[in-house]
Structure 1
Amino acid sequence: MFKLYNQHKTYFLLFSIWVIVVGLLIIVCGSDLLFILLHKNLGGFADLFFRLITELVSTIGVTIILILLLFRNWREGIKATIAMISSTIITHSLKIWVDAPRPWVYFKNESMIRTIEGVVLLPNHSFPSGHSTAAFAMAAVLAFTFNDKRLSPWFFIMAVLIAYSRIYLGQHFPLDIYVGSLVGMISASLTWSFVVFKKQKVELN
């Protein structure tokens, strides 16, 4: 784990800032009030943008990215697949166990949630956010795979935007995306730290 941290200090620093800042906001404001503050109408372009970006970590989107990673480097691709599957299992297990209501059910007033064309508001299994889990797991996977300090911030920003899209679209509370980000990051980090492929020795006759 320390080796992974030393190789990707930029990404770990960005994620640490996220954990501290968002964690403090949730503690100070509360997840429900913070949702109300963040669930704002930013206009038609934002509606379309967040509808599209949230689909990057849909089943189809994740599958395409994993296939591309497998073709690029099968070892890295397998690690990425393990990280995504393990994080998904953890998140969906928590969803079923906690069975928390989504925002429009929690507030018992759908009018508090903006109606966005093409977005169906779901009623339950809010905690944690599956999209946020996938976004942060995939961002970490891409940062670890490409190992480029110039790209790491962009992968992180992508994950943050996808996570925020879940609040913007009225599907999740800040606490949902926060815990989802932790599950995704931890799953990817543990996979990269402990999944090791043995190198085959070539004997020269």
Structure 2
Amino acid sequence: MNLSALIRQNRVLFSVYLVLLVVVGGLMLAYTKEQLIRFVNDHNSPPGDALFPYLTYLGDGAFVVVLGVLLLVINRPVGGMVLVSFAISGLISLFLKLVVFPERLRPLRYFEHSNWEYHIIKDLKINEYNSFPSGHTTSAFALFVLLGLLWRHKAWNWLWLLPAVVAGYSRVYLFQHFVEDAFAGSLIGTATAVGVYLAYWKRFGAPPVLG
């Protein structure tokens, strides 16, 4: 299988993701990163403050690793693909954070001397450096896009994008990242998932299906 065949087979998933990229990309072109994070931050709520500190773990490395190990027991090829996708996307994210864009400040440090009274959740640990890209968003898309590609029900596999989007949005809501950081993370994670899927197909044949 090649890339074009994979896209045709999963056209609903890729169509929904393309719409997401166009919408968010358009917002990034129309507004500055300061304006976008101000909008998200100003639309905080008690339910959001209660939920997003937990929903953000959908992109946490420990969560992905534990899930990958569990899948190894249930379905070894799927578990292996999940762990490989996580490892590759994580290394790419770390390289960009630490080597290519080490000067990128996270919102808390970026707005340190601003007069804007931003909202942060009490007792939440906020990081200050290595903002670009969002590692949580990268891991979430590397995981959930891969699971979507493996899902048997192609008309509904776009639903796997929802937890990845929630993880990405949570990073902005929690004042951990700018929108552009999550946007880049989604691209890296998705590209990695697609690459791992195609590499498995080339080496071993059709991957197992889920569902």
Q: TM-score, normalised by structure 2?
A: 0.87
Tell whether the 8 Å contact from 1:129 to 1:179 is kept in structure 2 after alignment: yes
- The CA distance in 2 between the partners of 1:194 and 1:11, in whole Å, is 19
Residue 111 (structure 2) pairs with residue 107 (structure 1): yes
Tell whether the 8 Å contact from 1:140 to 1:188 is kept in structure 2 after alignment: yes
After TM superposition, list the pairs within 5 Å mapping 1:102-141 onto structure 2. 102-109=106-113, 112-141=117-146
Tell whether the 8 Å contact from 2:81 to 2:196 is kept in structure 1 after alignment: yes
Tell me by how many angstroms 1:73 deviates: 2.2
Question: What is the DSSP-based 3-state SS (H/G/I as helix, E as strand, rest coil) of the residue aligned with 1:112?
Answer: coil
- The CA distance in 1 between the partners of 2:61 and 2:137, in whole Å, is 13
Tell me by how many angstroms 1:150 deviates: 5.4
Worse-superposed segment, 43-52 or 182-191: 43-52
What do you get for the CA RMSD once the two structures are aligned?
A: 1.8
After TM superposition, list the pairs within 5 Å mapping 1:13-92 onto structure 2. 13-92=15-94
Tell me by how many angstroms 1:41 deviates: 4.4
Unaligned runs of 5+ in 1: 200-205
Tell whether the 8 Å contact from 1:41 to 1:114 is kept in structure 2 after alignment: no
Q: TM-score, normalised by structure 1?
A: 0.90
Tell whether the 8 Å contact from 1:67 to 1:77 is kept in structure 2 after alignment: yes
- The CA distance in 2 between the partners of 1:198 and 1:34, in whole Å, is 44
Worse-superposed segment, 71-80 or 156-165: 71-80
Question: What is the DSSP-based 3-state SS (H/G/I as helix, E as strand, rest coil) of the residue aligned with 2:154?
Answer: coil
Which residue of 150, 154, 159 maps to 1:149? 154
Q: What do residues 43-96 of structure 1 show as CA deviations (whole Å, max 9, x unaligned)?
A: 222111111100122222111221232233212222221111100000011001
Task: Give the AA of the match of 1:160.
Answer: V
Residue 173 (structure 2) pairs with residue 168 (structure 1): yes
% identical aligned pairs:
28
Aligned to 2:13: 11
Unaligned runs of 5+ in 2: 206-211
Tell whether the 8 Å contact from 1:50 to 1:165 is kept in structure 2 after alignment: yes
Task: Give the AA of the match of 1:149.
Answer: K
Aligned to 1:191: 196
Tell me by how many angstroms 1:23 deviates: 0.7
Q: What do residues 147-179 of structure 1 show as CA deviations (whole Å, max 9, x unaligned)?
A: 323542321111111101011100000000000
Tell me by how many angstroms 1:121 deviates: 1.4
- The CA distance in 1 between the partners of 2:155 and 2:40, in whole Å, is 29
Tell me by how many angstroms 1:42 deviates: 3.1
